[in-house]
């Protein structure tokens, strides 16, 4: 199975704005990495714009396209969250949250008008952001006896992962990370060395 370990997201939070028939659609886009982080952003915006009619949003996490949500927050079903999510996907973005806050202007926009408004508001925030490519990395910890240090260091030099921590006590340790698609090869080499323990720490 091919590991997808690269993705596009936005570098920093951005904002957007769309106006239609008196209604104002204020957009906030954030790079995010967990549902807890998403909830925090949404809660802050709901408190900041407490007098707005709707706080609609969509988000997507991970590289497999399976972890996402779209929320209409009282707008007719499918007219807000879905068009927001549609723009995240058409721009091939993940690890991103977009919240569109609507102030009602007194004139109903109808189903097609709402879909268009939420779509354009999302596009404006994306256009105002810097899109970057990132990789999905795995962090590992290898522990080994001092006597096999040369073997471990040779592997580290050959494979060139990112070193985060080195501890050279009686039982030595290195914490390192690299792209998910490359970790299996490094782990296999390390495990061939005598007295070595290799443990997965987390994905980062």
Residues 38 and 120 in one domain: yes
CA-CA distances (angstroms) from residue 54 to 27, 96, 112, 131? 12, 20, 17, 27
Give the number of other Cβ atoms within 10 Å of residue 173's Cβ.
15
Whole-number Å distance between alpha carbons of 190 and 173: 12
> Are 2 and 64 contacting, i.e. CB atoms less than 8 angstroms apart?
no
Q: What is the CA radius of gyration of the chain?
A: 23
Q: Which residue has the tokens 């497999």?
A: 64
Contact of 23 with 107, CB cutoff 8 Å: yes
The verdict on 91 and 161 lying in the same domain is: no
Could you tell me if residue 183 is inside a domain? yes
Does 170 fall in a domain? yes
Q: Examine the domain organization and report whether 69 and 129 are in the same domain.
A: yes
Q: What is the CATH number of the domain that holds 45?
A: 3.30.230.30
1 located within any domain = no
Ordered DSSP codes for 50-69:
TT-SEEEEEEEESSSS-EEE
Q: How far apart are CA 168 and CA 186, in angstroms?
A: 20
Q: How many CB atoms lie within 10 A of CB 62?
A: 15
Number of structural domains the chain divides into: 2
Report yes or no: 169 and 142 within 8 Å, Cβ to Cβ.
no
Q: Which of 134, 160, 188 is the last residue of a domain?
A: 134
**Residue 83 belongs to some domain of the structure:** yes
Q: Are residues 125 and 153 in the same domain?
A: no
152 and 124, same domain (yes or no)? no
Look at residues 134, 164, 184 and tell me which one is the last residue of a structural domain.
Answer: 134
CATH code at position 174: 3.30.70.260
pLDDT on residue 171: 87
pLDDT of residue 2: 66
121 and 198 in a single domain? The answer is no
Q: Which of 168, 159, 164, 161 is nearest to 189 (CA)?
A: 159
CB-based contact 30:41 (threshold 8 Å)? yes
Are 150 and 106 members of one domain?
A: no
Indicate the residue among 111, 134, 157 that finishes a domain: 134
Please check whether residues 146 and 128 belong to one and the same domain. Answer: no
pTM of the model: 0.82
Is residue 15 one of the residues assigned to a domain?
yes
Same domain flag for 106 and 69: yes
Q: How far is CA 7 from CA 83, 91, 95, 132, in A?
A: 21, 11, 9, 8
User: Has residue 193 been placed in a domain?
Assistant: yes
pLDDT of residue 47: 97
According to DSSP, the residues that pair with 59 across neighbouring strands are 69, 97
Q: Are residues 162 and 88 in the same domain?
A: no
Asked if 48 and 117 sit in the same domain, the reply is yes
Residues (pLDDT < 70) of the chain are 1-2
Query: Which residue range is the domain that position 29 belongs to?
Result: 6-134
Same domain, 105 and 14: yes
Distance CA 93, CA 86 (A): 10
């Amino acid at each position: 199975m091919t590991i997808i370990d690269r993705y596009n997201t936005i570098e920093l939070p951005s904002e957007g704005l769309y106006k239609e028939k008196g209604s104002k659609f204020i957009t906030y886009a954030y790079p995010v990495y967990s549902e807890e982080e998403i909830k925090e952003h949404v809660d802050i915006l709901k408190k900041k714009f407490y007098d707005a009619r709707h706080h609609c949003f969509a988000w997507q996490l991970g590289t497999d396209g399976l972890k996402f949500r779209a929320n209409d927050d009282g707008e007719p079903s499918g007219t807000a969250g879905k068009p927001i999510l549609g723009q995240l996907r058409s721009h091939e973005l993940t690890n991103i949250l977009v919240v569109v806050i609507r102030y009602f202007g007194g004139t109903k926009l109808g189903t097609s008008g709402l879909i268009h408004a939420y779509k354009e508001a999302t596009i404006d925030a994306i256009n105002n952001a810097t899109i970057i490519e990132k990789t999905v990395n795995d962090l590992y910890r290898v522990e080994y006896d001092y006597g096999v240090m040369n073997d471990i260091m040779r592997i580290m030099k050959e494979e060139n992962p990112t070193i985060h921590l080195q501890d050279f006590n009686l039982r030595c340790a290195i914490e390192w990370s690299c792209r998910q698609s490359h970790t299996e090869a490094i782990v296999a080499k390390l495990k061939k060395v005598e007295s070595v323990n290799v443990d997965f720490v987390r994905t980062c």
